[in-house]
Structure 1
Amino acid sequence: MNLENNFDKDNVFTGLCLMTTKEFELNHILLNLRQRWGIKVNADMDEYEESENSVTFAIEDMNCFINFIDSKIPDEEITLKASFNYMFEDGVQRCKSHNSYLAIGVVGGENRVKSATLFTKIADACLQQYNMIAIYTPYNVIEADVFIDEASYIKRDFLPIENWIYIGFIKNEGETLSAYTIGMKAFLKDEMEILNSYEEPETLRNRLLNLAYFLIDNDTELSEDETLTLKEIDSDGNNVSLEFKVKYDKAVNGVGKTVKIERQIKK
């Protein structure tokens, strides 16, 4: 079950919710949707179809689906994806223990942020079930409780950016670290990279997440040779302003071109 075929090509947000048991409680999920997000799914909705193991429906210009699959995803696929999430303790073993899953998704819609938000609400409603382990998205495997916590930011009118954008790391020679995004293309934005940095992983991660949030929330792009001034907290807990140069070039960690965020060191 490869989720990457449609990733970033069309307005499609999909995921697989991994379950410990082979139990599908559609009514519980729909109740969660109504109680947590005010989304009432019923037979009067456009495109509504329900079977023993699935439901489809439309909300405005977005088509949604929840399908129960009574089988496992191949271990080698889960192992690869779960191993990428450095924040999911025992993620590989826990994901390999799943016995079934829900395939969920939102297709279409003129506004990709709106489509991604609806997908996050549906995923949250599914992951509330007692037998959920994690959600496998096209770019990451996220622990159920972690995804739910991040989804709660929607209630405060914030984007659940950590559910949408993955930050990866590559260790380089000379003890430097490179960081990169995966997920920006789903919002028609260029992926970003920070190359050969001596800074801490958490600093690089927060910087890219904050930039991703700004670009997606404001539906904007960075310009070639633009100078960014970002406010960050240094190792001593002080607020500092740092300058960065924007460069577009061939991806070092990825495909095609990416935005390089280069820190400018003042002499």
Structure 2
Amino acid sequence: MDIADLSDNIISRRWKERCANLPDDKRKKLETFEHSDYQLQVIKRKRIYPQPGDIFQINPREDIYFYGIYSSGTVFEPQFYEGCAQMMKKNGLPILNWIWFGLWQREGGICCYTYGMSAFGKDEMEVLDADAKPSDVRDFLLNLVDYVLENDIVLNDGETIGFSAEDKHAITRSKGAALPGMTLKIEY
């Protein structure tokens, strides 16, 4: 990673300042970090939990640093976060910066949930037991989230939603399968 190639923002400026003050051997390790076998082994939990929007560093070992942005219960790589934010230049919403899409598989099929909708006053959503590829299920839920947030839609128990007049997906509000509390189950 060539430090001079980083875009100019607060994260990259802090990164550059920090790197400039490191000893030469540490700076060289950092510049070759992406092409090395370094891994984050353990991140120790602190008493204070990060809050949405926090920017912080993780020091895994040997003074190698990683900067991240905490949002939706997840630490995002700054370049990923910035790339998703570029959607706003095209009048889109940076959904992947705001909402986490969790995937898992159980006996009935692929499941997906959102985490972050409550920040917008919306119920979290889940798709359960879909007979589809994980990426298709995630994209389906991502498109629904985009529609709901873009148009400030309130989804209710017993309604249907779809991408066309013929496309109808039942909505059920019940106890969450992946999340605590009540969530909206969207039929796939």
CA contact (8 A) 1:177 1:198 kept: yes
Q: Percent identity?
A: 31
Instruction: Select which of 57, 60, 69 maps to 1:135.
Output: 69
CA contact (8 A) 1:20 1:97 kept: no
Q: Which residue of 2 aligns with 1:224?
A: 157
| Structure 1 letter corresponding to 2:114 | T
Instruction: Select which of 160, 165, 181 maps to 1:256.
Output: 181
Aligned pairs for 1:27-38 (under 5 A) are none
Return the alpha-carbon distance in structure 1 between the equivalents of residues 74 and 151 of structure 2.
Answer: 24
| Structure 1 letter corresponding to 2:44 | E
Return the alpha-carbon distance in structure 2 between the equivalents of residues 245 and 218 of structure 1.
Answer: 19
- The Cα of 1:97 is off from its aligned counterpart by 5.7
| Structure 1 letter corresponding to 2:84 | E
Return the alpha-carbon distance in structure 1 between the equivalents of residues 152 and 107 of structure 2.
Answer: 36
2:158 corresponds to 1:190: no
Distance 1:20 1:179, change over 3 A: same
Return the alpha-carbon distance in structure 2 between the equivalents of residues 98 and 136 of structure 1.
Answer: 23
Residue by residue, what CA displacement relative to the aligned partner does 1:219-260 show, whole Å, maximum 9, x if unpaired? 2211221121225xxxxxxxxx63200110011110110000
Q: Relative contact order (alpha carbons < 8 A, sep ≥ 6): 1 or 2 greater?
A: 1
Q: Which residue of 1 aligns with 2:81?
A: 147
Runs of 4+ displaced beyond 4 Å: 17-22, 97-100
Residue by residue, what CA displacement relative to the aligned partner does 1:38-91 show, whole Å, maximum 9, x if unpaired? xxxxxxxxxxxxxxxxxxxxxxxxxxxxxxxxxxxx81349xxxxxxxxxxxxx
Aligned pairs for 1:85-234 (under 5 A) are 96=60, 133-174=67-108, 176-230=109-163
Residue by residue, what CA displacement relative to the aligned partner does 1:68-119 show, whole Å, maximum 9, x if unpaired? xxxxxx81349xxxxxxxxxxxxxxx8736969xxxxxxxxxxxxxxxxxxx
Q: C-alpha root-mean-square deviation of aligned residues, in Å? A: 3.3
- The Cα of 1:215 is off from its aligned counterpart by 1.3
Relative to total residues, which structure has the larger strand share, 1 or 2? 1
Distance 1:95 1:194, change over 3 A: farther
Residue by residue, what CA displacement relative to the aligned partner does 1:184-211 show, whole Å, maximum 9, x if unpaired? 0011100000011111111111111111
Q: Which residue of 1 aligns with 2:5?
A: none
Return the alpha-carbon distance in structure 1 between the equivalents of residues 61 and 83 of structure 2.
Answer: 23
Gaps of 5+ in 2: 1-10, 21-41, 47-57
| Structure 2 letter corresponding to 1:260 | K
Q: Which residue of 1 aligns with 2:53?
A: none
Q: Which residue of 1 aligns with 2:43?
A: 75
- The Cα of 1:161 is off from its aligned counterpart by 0.6
Distance 1:143 1:197, change over 3 A: same
Distance 1:227 1:137, change over 3 A: closer
- The Cα of 1:22 is off from its aligned counterpart by 7.1
